[in-house]
A = this chain, B = another copy of it.
Amino acid sequence: MAEKQFVKEIADINGDFPQWYTDVVLKTQLVDYGPIKGTMVIRPYGYAIWENIQRELDARFKATGHQNAYFPMLIPQSLLLKEAEHVEGFAPEVAMVHVAGGEKLAEPCVVRPTSETIICSMYSKWINSYRDLPLKLNQWANVVRWEKTTRPFLRTSEFLWQEGHTVHATQEESMKETIDMLHLYHDFARDVLAMPTFIGKKSEKEKFAGAEATYGMEAMMLDGKSLQAGTTHHFGQKFSKAYDIMFLDKDGKHKHAWQSSWGVSTRLIGAIIMAHGDQRGLVLPPMVAPIQAVVIPVAAHKPGVLEKAREIADLLKNAGIRVQLDDRDQSPGWKFNEWEMKGVPMRLEIGPRDIENGVAMVARRDTCEKFTMPLDGIAQSAHELLATIQTNMYNKSLAFRDSHVKIAHNMDELQQVLDSQCFAKVVWDQDPACEALFKEKYQATVRVMLDEEPFQDTCTCCGEKCEHPVVALVARAY
Protein backbone atom coordinates (compact mmCIF):
# COMPACT_ATOMS: atom_id res chain seq x y z
CA MET A 1 0.00 0.00 0.00
CA ALA A 2 2.70 2.44 1.08
CA GLU A 3 4.87 1.24 -1.78
CA LYS A 4 2.05 1.79 -4.20
CA GLN A 5 1.44 5.29 -2.98
CA PHE A 6 5.07 6.17 -3.49
CA VAL A 7 5.17 4.78 -6.95
CA LYS A 8 2.68 7.50 -7.76
CA GLU A 9 4.91 10.19 -6.34
CA ILE A 10 8.40 9.12 -7.31
CA ALA A 11 9.76 7.05 -10.18
CA ASP A 12 10.98 3.49 -9.62
CA ILE A 13 14.52 3.62 -8.25
CA ASN A 14 15.43 0.44 -10.13
CA GLY A 15 13.65 1.31 -13.32
CA ASP A 16 14.61 4.95 -13.84
CA PHE A 17 17.26 6.12 -11.41
CA PRO A 18 17.74 9.61 -12.93
CA GLN A 19 14.00 10.30 -12.76
CA TRP A 20 13.87 8.90 -9.21
CA TYR A 21 16.59 11.41 -8.28
CA THR A 22 14.76 14.33 -9.85
CA ASP A 23 11.46 13.32 -8.23
CA VAL A 24 13.08 12.93 -4.82
CA VAL A 25 14.93 16.25 -4.76
CA LEU A 26 11.83 18.15 -5.89
CA LYS A 27 9.10 16.31 -3.94
CA THR A 28 10.99 16.34 -0.66
CA GLN A 29 11.51 20.07 -1.17
CA LEU A 30 15.26 19.93 -0.95
CA VAL A 31 15.56 22.12 -3.98
CA ASP A 32 13.71 23.87 -6.78
CA TYR A 33 14.78 25.18 -10.16
CA GLY A 34 15.77 28.85 -10.31
CA PRO A 35 14.45 31.14 -13.06
CA ILE A 36 17.76 31.04 -14.96
CA LYS A 37 18.52 27.72 -16.60
CA GLY A 38 20.94 25.63 -14.57
CA THR A 39 20.46 27.47 -11.30
CA MET A 40 18.88 26.00 -8.18
CA VAL A 41 17.07 27.31 -5.16
CA ILE A 42 18.16 25.41 -2.05
CA ARG A 43 15.01 25.17 0.03
CA PRO A 44 15.07 25.03 3.84
CA TYR A 45 15.12 21.23 4.05
CA GLY A 46 18.07 21.04 1.67
CA TYR A 47 19.86 24.02 3.17
CA ALA A 48 19.64 22.53 6.66
CA ILE A 49 21.62 19.53 5.39
CA TRP A 50 24.22 21.94 4.05
CA GLU A 51 24.35 23.74 7.40
CA ASN A 52 25.02 20.43 9.15
CA ILE A 53 27.76 19.63 6.64
CA GLN A 54 29.25 23.09 7.11
CA ARG A 55 29.24 22.90 10.88
CA GLU A 56 30.95 19.51 10.96
CA LEU A 57 33.53 20.38 8.30
CA ASP A 58 34.24 23.84 9.65
CA ALA A 59 35.03 22.41 13.09
CA ARG A 60 37.45 19.96 11.49
CA PHE A 61 39.12 22.72 9.45
CA LYS A 62 39.59 24.90 12.52
CA ALA A 63 40.85 22.00 14.63
CA THR A 64 43.61 21.54 12.03
CA GLY A 65 44.71 25.18 12.15
CA HIS A 66 42.70 26.77 9.33
CA GLN A 67 40.98 30.15 9.49
CA ASN A 68 38.10 31.46 7.41
CA ALA A 69 38.25 34.59 5.27
CA TYR A 70 36.26 36.11 2.43
CA PHE A 71 37.58 37.29 -0.93
CA PRO A 72 35.69 39.33 -3.55
CA MET A 73 33.53 37.42 -6.00
CA LEU A 74 34.40 39.64 -8.95
CA ILE A 75 37.86 39.06 -10.38
CA PRO A 76 39.53 41.35 -12.94
CA GLN A 77 39.87 39.42 -16.17
CA SER A 78 43.60 40.13 -16.29
CA LEU A 79 44.12 38.30 -13.00
CA LEU A 80 42.51 35.16 -14.38
CA LEU A 81 44.85 35.21 -17.35
CA LYS A 82 48.09 34.94 -15.38
CA GLU A 83 48.27 31.16 -15.00
CA ALA A 84 48.06 29.69 -18.50
CA GLU A 85 46.62 26.24 -17.72
CA HIS A 86 44.19 27.67 -15.20
CA VAL A 87 42.67 30.15 -17.63
CA GLU A 88 42.42 27.46 -20.31
CA GLY A 89 40.45 25.28 -17.92
CA PHE A 90 38.07 27.91 -16.59
CA ALA A 91 37.70 30.67 -19.19
CA PRO A 92 35.14 28.75 -21.31
CA GLU A 93 32.65 28.54 -18.46
CA VAL A 94 32.87 31.90 -16.69
CA ALA A 95 30.13 34.50 -16.40
CA MET A 96 31.38 37.99 -17.26
CA VAL A 97 30.44 41.42 -15.93
CA HIS A 98 31.04 44.19 -18.46
CA VAL A 99 28.57 46.76 -17.13
CA ALA A 100 28.07 47.88 -13.54
CA GLY A 101 26.50 50.96 -12.00
CA GLY A 102 25.20 51.91 -15.42
CA GLU A 103 28.68 52.17 -16.95
CA LYS A 104 30.87 49.99 -19.06
CA LEU A 105 33.78 48.81 -16.91
CA ALA A 106 37.29 49.76 -18.01
CA GLU A 107 38.23 46.11 -17.53
CA PRO A 108 35.63 43.33 -17.50
CA CYS A 109 35.38 41.08 -14.44
CA VAL A 110 34.67 37.40 -14.17
CA VAL A 111 32.35 36.01 -11.52
CA ARG A 112 34.61 33.60 -9.59
CA PRO A 113 34.50 30.00 -10.86
CA THR A 114 37.09 29.31 -8.11
CA SER A 115 39.30 31.80 -6.27
CA GLU A 116 42.94 30.81 -6.78
CA THR A 117 43.65 33.87 -8.89
CA ILE A 118 42.31 36.53 -6.56
CA ILE A 119 43.55 34.80 -3.43
CA CYS A 120 47.05 34.41 -4.85
CA SER A 121 47.11 38.09 -5.78
CA MET A 122 46.43 38.94 -2.11
CA TYR A 123 48.88 36.33 -0.80
CA SER A 124 51.55 37.97 -2.92
CA LYS A 125 50.97 41.16 -0.94
CA TRP A 126 50.62 39.58 2.51
CA ILE A 127 53.47 37.09 2.47
CA ASN A 128 56.98 38.40 2.91
CA SER A 129 58.79 36.20 5.39
CA TYR A 130 58.92 32.60 6.59
CA ARG A 131 57.24 34.03 9.71
CA ASP A 132 54.08 34.55 7.62
CA LEU A 133 53.95 30.83 6.82
CA PRO A 134 52.16 28.51 6.82
CA LEU A 135 49.07 30.51 5.85
CA LYS A 136 46.04 28.24 5.91
CA LEU A 137 42.80 29.94 4.87
CA ASN A 138 39.40 28.63 3.90
CA GLN A 139 36.45 30.38 2.30
CA TRP A 140 32.74 29.43 2.31
CA ALA A 141 31.28 30.97 -0.81
CA ASN A 142 29.19 30.74 -3.94
CA VAL A 143 30.84 30.16 -7.31
CA VAL A 144 29.51 30.30 -10.86
CA ARG A 145 30.43 27.92 -13.68
CA TRP A 146 28.28 28.07 -16.79
CA GLU A 147 27.57 24.42 -17.50
CA LYS A 148 25.77 23.01 -20.52
CA THR A 149 24.08 20.10 -18.75
CA THR A 150 22.88 20.70 -15.24
CA ARG A 151 21.17 18.75 -12.44
CA PRO A 152 20.28 19.98 -8.96
CA PHE A 153 23.22 19.63 -6.53
CA LEU A 154 25.29 17.60 -9.03
CA ARG A 155 26.11 20.27 -11.58
CA THR A 156 24.57 23.74 -11.41
CA SER A 157 25.54 27.12 -12.83
CA GLU A 158 25.93 28.44 -9.30
CA PHE A 159 26.77 26.33 -6.30
CA LEU A 160 27.94 26.73 -2.72
CA TRP A 161 31.24 25.33 -1.59
CA GLN A 162 34.30 25.79 0.55
CA GLU A 163 37.71 26.33 -0.91
CA GLY A 164 40.86 26.00 1.19
CA HIS A 165 44.00 27.76 0.01
CA THR A 166 47.24 27.19 1.87
CA VAL A 167 50.79 28.46 1.49
CA HIS A 168 53.88 26.76 2.84
CA ALA A 169 57.62 27.25 3.02
CA THR A 170 58.49 23.78 1.70
CA GLN A 171 57.24 21.23 -0.79
CA GLU A 172 57.04 18.58 1.93
CA GLU A 173 54.67 20.73 3.94
CA SER A 174 52.36 21.65 1.08
CA MET A 175 52.26 18.03 -0.07
CA LYS A 176 51.46 16.91 3.47
CA GLU A 177 48.61 19.44 3.61
CA THR A 178 47.25 18.17 0.27
CA ILE A 179 47.19 14.59 1.53
CA ASP A 180 46.01 15.48 5.05
CA MET A 181 42.99 17.31 3.65
CA LEU A 182 42.18 14.38 1.36
CA HIS A 183 42.09 12.19 4.45
CA LEU A 184 40.05 14.78 6.36
CA TYR A 185 37.43 14.62 3.57
CA HIS A 186 37.54 10.84 3.54
CA ASP A 187 37.05 10.59 7.31
CA PHE A 188 34.29 13.22 7.21
CA ALA A 189 32.43 11.29 4.48
CA ARG A 190 32.77 8.09 6.50
CA ASP A 191 31.87 9.48 9.92
CA VAL A 192 29.28 12.11 9.03
CA LEU A 193 27.80 11.15 5.66
CA ALA A 194 28.01 7.39 6.37
CA MET A 195 29.63 7.14 2.95
CA PRO A 196 32.67 5.03 2.16
CA THR A 197 34.89 6.62 -0.49
CA PHE A 198 37.91 5.78 -2.57
CA ILE A 199 40.73 8.29 -2.39
CA GLY A 200 43.77 8.58 -4.62
CA LYS A 201 45.63 10.59 -7.18
CA LYS A 202 43.85 11.71 -10.33
CA SER A 203 45.29 11.08 -13.78
CA GLU A 204 47.05 13.89 -15.65
CA LYS A 205 43.96 14.31 -17.78
CA GLU A 206 41.60 14.68 -14.83
CA LYS A 207 43.68 17.02 -12.72
CA PHE A 208 42.68 20.59 -11.83
CA ALA A 209 43.64 23.28 -14.32
CA GLY A 210 46.90 24.69 -13.01
CA ALA A 211 47.72 22.01 -10.43
CA GLU A 212 50.80 19.82 -10.34
CA ALA A 213 48.72 16.99 -8.92
CA THR A 214 45.07 16.49 -8.01
CA TYR A 215 43.72 13.97 -5.52
CA GLY A 216 40.10 12.92 -5.50
CA MET A 217 37.51 11.34 -3.26
CA GLU A 218 35.09 9.17 -5.24
CA ALA A 219 31.83 7.78 -3.91
CA MET A 220 29.76 4.96 -5.39
CA MET A 221 26.16 5.82 -6.11
CA LEU A 222 23.40 3.18 -6.06
CA ASP A 223 23.37 2.99 -9.86
CA GLY A 224 27.03 1.96 -9.85
CA LYS A 225 28.24 5.31 -11.12
CA SER A 226 30.96 7.30 -9.40
CA LEU A 227 30.55 10.78 -8.03
CA GLN A 228 33.58 12.98 -7.43
CA ALA A 229 32.78 14.18 -3.94
CA GLY A 230 35.86 16.27 -3.15
CA THR A 231 39.31 17.12 -4.45
CA THR A 232 42.61 18.40 -3.11
CA HIS A 233 45.30 19.92 -5.28
CA HIS A 234 49.03 20.33 -4.99
CA PHE A 235 50.13 23.42 -6.88
CA GLY A 236 53.83 23.11 -6.26
CA GLN A 237 55.18 26.56 -7.15
CA LYS A 238 53.09 27.06 -10.28
CA PHE A 239 50.74 29.68 -8.87
CA SER A 240 53.39 31.27 -6.65
CA LYS A 241 55.48 31.86 -9.77
CA ALA A 242 52.53 33.16 -11.80
CA TYR A 243 51.37 35.45 -8.96
CA ASP A 244 54.74 36.28 -7.46
CA ILE A 245 54.30 34.85 -3.96
CA MET A 246 57.78 35.02 -2.47
CA PHE A 247 59.14 34.91 1.05
CA LEU A 248 62.45 35.54 2.75
CA ASP A 249 63.44 32.20 4.23
CA LYS A 250 65.43 31.59 7.43
CA ASP A 251 68.54 31.12 5.32
CA GLY A 252 68.25 34.68 4.02
CA LYS A 253 67.17 33.63 0.53
CA HIS A 254 64.05 34.75 -1.31
CA LYS A 255 61.98 31.76 -2.41
CA HIS A 256 58.70 31.03 -4.16
CA ALA A 257 56.15 29.52 -1.79
CA TRP A 258 54.45 26.12 -2.11
CA GLN A 259 50.68 25.84 -2.25
CA SER A 260 47.65 23.60 -1.97
CA SER A 261 43.92 24.04 -2.46
CA TRP A 262 40.94 21.81 -1.70
CA GLY A 263 37.18 21.92 -1.84
CA VAL A 264 33.83 20.23 -1.44
CA SER A 265 30.47 21.62 -2.46
CA THR A 266 26.69 21.30 -2.24
CA ARG A 267 27.28 18.34 -4.56
CA LEU A 268 27.73 16.34 -1.35
CA ILE A 269 23.95 16.60 -0.86
CA GLY A 270 23.50 14.83 -4.19
CA ALA A 271 25.96 12.19 -3.03
CA ILE A 272 23.99 11.56 0.16
CA ILE A 273 20.76 11.17 -1.81
CA MET A 274 22.17 8.74 -4.36
CA ALA A 275 24.27 6.73 -1.89
CA HIS A 276 21.51 6.04 0.64
CA GLY A 277 18.08 6.55 -0.95
CA ASP A 278 15.53 3.83 -1.63
CA GLN A 279 12.16 3.22 -3.27
CA ARG A 280 10.41 5.40 -0.71
CA GLY A 281 12.70 8.39 -1.14
CA LEU A 282 15.45 9.87 0.98
CA VAL A 283 17.31 8.00 3.70
CA LEU A 284 19.33 10.58 5.64
CA PRO A 285 22.26 9.80 7.93
CA PRO A 286 21.38 11.03 11.43
CA MET A 287 24.51 13.22 11.57
CA VAL A 288 23.25 15.47 8.76
CA ALA A 289 19.48 14.93 8.91
CA PRO A 290 17.70 18.27 9.52
CA ILE A 291 15.11 16.33 11.51
CA GLN A 292 16.51 13.27 13.29
CA ALA A 293 13.26 12.14 14.86
CA VAL A 294 9.62 12.90 14.14
CA VAL A 295 6.96 12.35 16.78
CA ILE A 296 3.48 11.54 15.47
CA PRO A 297 0.43 11.38 17.71
CA VAL A 298 -1.97 8.57 16.74
CA ALA A 299 -5.65 9.13 17.56
CA ALA A 300 -4.59 12.64 18.55
CA HIS A 301 -8.15 13.59 19.48
CA LYS A 302 -8.13 11.13 22.41
CA PRO A 303 -7.37 12.78 25.76
CA GLY A 304 -3.73 12.99 26.71
CA VAL A 305 -2.29 11.79 23.39
CA LEU A 306 -1.20 15.12 21.94
CA GLU A 307 0.11 16.22 25.33
CA LYS A 308 2.18 13.04 25.69
CA ALA A 309 3.52 13.37 22.14
CA ARG A 310 4.55 16.95 22.89
CA GLU A 311 6.15 15.87 26.15
CA ILE A 312 8.23 13.22 24.36
CA ALA A 313 9.25 15.69 21.64
CA ASP A 314 10.36 18.22 24.28
CA LEU A 315 12.27 15.52 26.11
CA LEU A 316 14.18 14.57 22.96
CA LYS A 317 14.78 18.20 22.05
CA ASN A 318 16.24 18.93 25.46
CA ALA A 319 18.50 15.92 25.02
CA GLY A 320 19.98 17.59 21.91
CA ILE A 321 18.07 15.62 19.28
CA ARG A 322 16.70 17.53 16.26
CA VAL A 323 13.06 16.59 16.65
CA GLN A 324 9.78 17.64 15.13
CA LEU A 325 6.31 17.07 16.50
CA ASP A 326 3.88 16.60 13.62
CA ASP A 327 0.55 17.72 15.01
CA ARG A 328 -0.90 18.74 11.65
CA ASP A 329 -4.46 17.90 10.79
CA GLN A 330 -3.63 14.92 8.55
CA SER A 331 -3.95 11.15 8.99
CA PRO A 332 -1.06 9.28 10.64
CA GLY A 333 -0.65 7.18 7.46
CA TRP A 334 -0.24 10.31 5.35
CA LYS A 335 2.37 11.57 7.78
CA PHE A 336 4.25 8.26 7.84
CA ASN A 337 4.60 8.42 4.07
CA GLU A 338 5.65 12.04 4.10
CA TRP A 339 8.41 11.60 6.68
CA GLU A 340 9.61 8.37 5.12
CA MET A 341 9.94 10.14 1.78
CA LYS A 342 11.84 12.91 3.54
CA GLY A 343 14.25 10.36 5.02
CA VAL A 344 13.86 11.17 8.72
CA PRO A 345 15.98 8.51 10.51
CA MET A 346 13.50 7.59 13.23
CA ARG A 347 9.76 7.98 13.69
CA LEU A 348 7.98 7.71 17.02
CA GLU A 349 4.26 7.04 17.10
CA ILE A 350 2.37 7.80 20.29
CA GLY A 351 -1.15 6.42 20.61
CA PRO A 352 -3.49 5.75 23.56
CA ARG A 353 -2.44 2.11 23.87
CA ASP A 354 1.26 3.01 23.66
CA ILE A 355 0.80 5.47 26.50
CA GLU A 356 -1.03 2.81 28.51
CA ASN A 357 1.88 0.42 27.94
CA GLY A 358 4.50 3.07 28.65
CA VAL A 359 6.04 2.75 25.19
CA ALA A 360 6.32 4.46 21.83
CA MET A 361 6.14 2.63 18.53
CA VAL A 362 9.38 3.32 16.69
CA ALA A 363 10.10 2.94 12.97
CA ARG A 364 13.67 3.01 11.66
CA ARG A 365 14.01 4.59 8.25
CA ASP A 366 17.19 2.70 7.29
CA THR A 367 15.78 -0.82 7.82
CA CYS A 368 12.04 0.00 7.87
CA GLU A 369 11.80 -2.10 11.06
CA LYS A 370 9.14 -1.28 13.64
CA PHE A 371 9.38 -2.01 17.36
CA THR A 372 8.39 -0.57 20.72
CA MET A 373 10.65 1.61 22.84
CA PRO A 374 9.98 2.19 26.57
CA LEU A 375 9.12 5.80 27.37
CA ASP A 376 11.27 5.42 30.45
CA GLY A 377 14.75 6.61 29.42
CA ILE A 378 13.58 7.32 25.88
CA ALA A 379 16.04 10.19 25.24
CA GLN A 380 18.97 7.88 25.92
CA SER A 381 17.41 5.08 23.82
CA ALA A 382 16.79 7.52 20.97
CA HIS A 383 20.41 8.70 21.04
CA GLU A 384 21.58 5.11 20.92
CA LEU A 385 19.27 4.25 18.07
CA LEU A 386 20.45 7.24 16.04
CA ALA A 387 24.06 6.11 16.56
CA THR A 388 23.09 2.58 15.51
CA ILE A 389 21.38 3.89 12.37
CA GLN A 390 24.42 5.99 11.49
CA THR A 391 26.71 2.96 11.83
CA ASN A 392 24.33 0.64 10.03
CA MET A 393 24.02 3.03 7.10
CA TYR A 394 27.79 3.14 6.74
CA ASN A 395 28.13 -0.64 6.95
CA LYS A 396 25.36 -1.13 4.42
CA SER A 397 26.99 1.31 2.01
CA LEU A 398 30.36 -0.29 2.52
CA ALA A 399 28.99 -3.79 1.84
CA PHE A 400 27.21 -2.50 -1.26
CA ARG A 401 30.34 -0.84 -2.51
CA ASP A 402 32.63 -3.77 -1.81
CA SER A 403 30.31 -6.11 -3.69
CA HIS A 404 30.33 -3.71 -6.64
CA VAL A 405 34.05 -3.40 -7.26
CA LYS A 406 35.58 -6.01 -9.56
CA ILE A 407 38.90 -6.68 -11.16
CA ALA A 408 39.16 -6.34 -14.93
CA HIS A 409 42.13 -8.14 -16.47
CA ASN A 410 41.28 -7.05 -20.00
CA MET A 411 38.87 -4.89 -21.99
CA ASP A 412 36.19 -7.57 -22.29
CA GLU A 413 36.11 -8.02 -18.55
CA LEU A 414 36.07 -4.24 -18.14
CA GLN A 415 32.94 -4.00 -20.25
CA GLN A 416 31.24 -6.76 -18.24
CA VAL A 417 32.14 -5.09 -14.94
CA LEU A 418 30.89 -1.68 -16.06
CA ASP A 419 27.72 -3.07 -17.62
CA SER A 420 26.90 -4.84 -14.36
CA GLN A 421 26.91 -1.38 -12.70
CA CYS A 422 30.20 -1.92 -10.93
CA PHE A 423 33.51 -0.09 -10.55
CA ALA A 424 36.49 -1.80 -12.15
CA LYS A 425 39.99 -2.08 -10.84
CA VAL A 426 42.36 -2.12 -13.79
CA VAL A 427 46.11 -2.19 -14.22
CA TRP A 428 47.24 0.79 -16.24
CA ASP A 429 50.57 2.17 -17.39
CA GLN A 430 49.30 5.76 -17.13
CA ASP A 431 49.22 5.98 -20.93
CA PRO A 432 46.69 8.65 -22.02
CA ALA A 433 45.85 6.57 -25.10
CA CYS A 434 44.50 3.73 -22.95
CA GLU A 435 42.62 6.24 -20.76
CA ALA A 436 41.03 7.65 -23.92
CA LEU A 437 39.92 4.16 -24.93
CA PHE A 438 38.09 3.60 -21.63
CA LYS A 439 36.10 6.67 -22.44
CA GLU A 440 35.60 6.03 -26.13
CA LYS A 441 34.55 2.39 -25.80
CA TYR A 442 32.70 2.34 -22.48
CA GLN A 443 32.03 5.98 -21.49
CA ALA A 444 34.14 5.32 -18.42
CA THR A 445 37.01 7.29 -16.90
CA VAL A 446 39.92 6.76 -14.55
CA ARG A 447 38.49 8.05 -11.26
CA VAL A 448 41.58 7.71 -9.08
CA MET A 449 44.73 5.66 -8.86
CA LEU A 450 44.68 3.44 -5.81
CA ASP A 451 47.50 2.76 -3.41
CA GLU A 452 47.47 -0.98 -4.19
CA GLU A 453 49.87 -3.56 -5.61
CA PRO A 454 49.14 -4.25 -9.31
CA PHE A 455 47.44 -7.63 -9.74
CA GLN A 456 49.12 -8.23 -13.10
CA ASP A 457 52.04 -6.76 -15.02
CA THR A 458 50.16 -6.02 -18.25
CA CYS A 459 47.79 -3.16 -19.00
CA THR A 460 44.08 -4.00 -18.82
CA CYS A 461 43.52 -1.88 -21.89
CA CYS A 462 46.31 -2.58 -24.38
CA GLY A 463 47.60 -5.84 -22.89
CA GLU A 464 51.16 -4.63 -23.09
CA LYS A 465 53.70 -4.98 -20.33
CA CYS A 466 53.63 -1.91 -18.05
CA GLU A 467 56.68 0.10 -17.09
CA HIS A 468 54.96 2.02 -14.30
CA PRO A 469 51.85 -0.03 -13.57
CA VAL A 470 49.24 1.37 -11.23
CA VAL A 471 45.89 0.05 -10.08
CA ALA A 472 43.29 2.50 -11.34
CA LEU A 473 39.63 2.69 -10.51
CA VAL A 474 37.63 2.93 -13.72
CA ALA A 475 33.93 3.77 -13.65
CA ARG A 476 31.18 5.67 -15.31
CA ALA A 477 30.74 8.92 -13.48
CA TYR A 478 28.49 11.88 -12.82
Given A142-B73, A158-B73, verify A35-B96 contact (CB < 8 Å): no
Chain B residues lying within 8 Å of A73, measured Cβ to Cβ, are: 142, 144, 158
In the bound complex, CA of A77 to CA of B125 (Å): 37
Q: Chain A's interface: helix, strand, loop or mixed, by majority?
A: mixed
For A67, the closest partner residue in chain B by CB is B44
In the bound complex, CA of A153 to CA of B121 (Å): 21
Chain B residues lying within 8 Å of A69, measured Cβ to Cβ, are: 41-44, 47
In this complex, the member of A71, A109, A122 whose beta carbon has the largest number of chain B beta carbons within 10 angstroms is: A71
A134 to chain B, nearest CB (A): 13
A42 to chain B, nearest CB (A): 4
Are B95 and A100 in contact (CB-based, < 8 A)?
Answer: yes
Are A99 and B101 in contact (CB-based, < 8 A)?
Answer: no
Are A137 and B44 in contact (CB-based, < 8 A)?
Answer: yes
Contact of A102 among B34, B92, B126, B137 (CB under 8 A): B92
Chain B residues lying within 8 Å of A109, measured Cβ to Cβ, are: 36, 95
Chain B residues lying within 8 Å of A101, measured Cβ to Cβ, are: 92-95, 146-148
Given A97-B97, A99-B96, A146-B100, verify A118-B70 contact (CB < 8 Å): no
Report the count of interface residues on A (CB-CB < 8 A). 53
In the bound complex, CA of A102 to CA of B88 (Å): 13
For A74, the closest partner residue in chain B by CB is B36
Q: Mark A111-132, 1 if CB is under 8 A from B, else 0.
A: 1000000100110011000000
Are B160 and A75 in contact (CB-based, < 8 A)?
Answer: no
Are B79 and A35 in contact (CB-based, < 8 A)?
Answer: yes
In the bound complex, CA of A93 to CA of B48 (Å): 32
Q: Flag whether A141 is at the interface (Cβ < 8 A).
A: yes
Are A51 and B68 in contact (CB-based, < 8 A)?
Answer: yes
Contact of A35 among B50, B67, B121 (CB under 8 A): B121
Contact of A142 among B47, B48, B51, B141 (CB under 8 A): B141
Are A47 and B68 in contact (CB-based, < 8 A)?
Answer: yes
Chain B residues lying within 8 Å of A98, measured Cβ to Cβ, are: 96, 98-99
Q: Mark A137-163, 1 if CB is under 8 A from B, else 0.
A: 100011010111000000001101000
Q: Flag whether A76 is at the interface (Cβ < 8 A).
A: yes
In the bound complex, CA of A80 to CA of B98 (Å): 19
Q: Flag whether A15 is at the interface (Cβ < 8 A).
A: no
Chain B residues lying within 8 Å of A95, measured Cβ to Cβ, are: 74, 97, 99-101, 109
- Given contacts A34-B118, A41-B69, A72-B158, 13 further A-B pairs with CB under 8 A are A32-B122, A36-B74, A42-B69, A47-B70, A73-B158, A74-B144, A93-B102, A94-B101, A95-B100, A96-B100, A98-B98, A100-B146, A100-B157
List 13 A-B pairs, Cβ < 8 Å. A32-B125, A36-B74, A47-B70, A48-B67, A48-B68, A73-B142, A74-B95, A94-B101, A95-B97, A96-B99, A100-B144, A100-B157, A101-B147
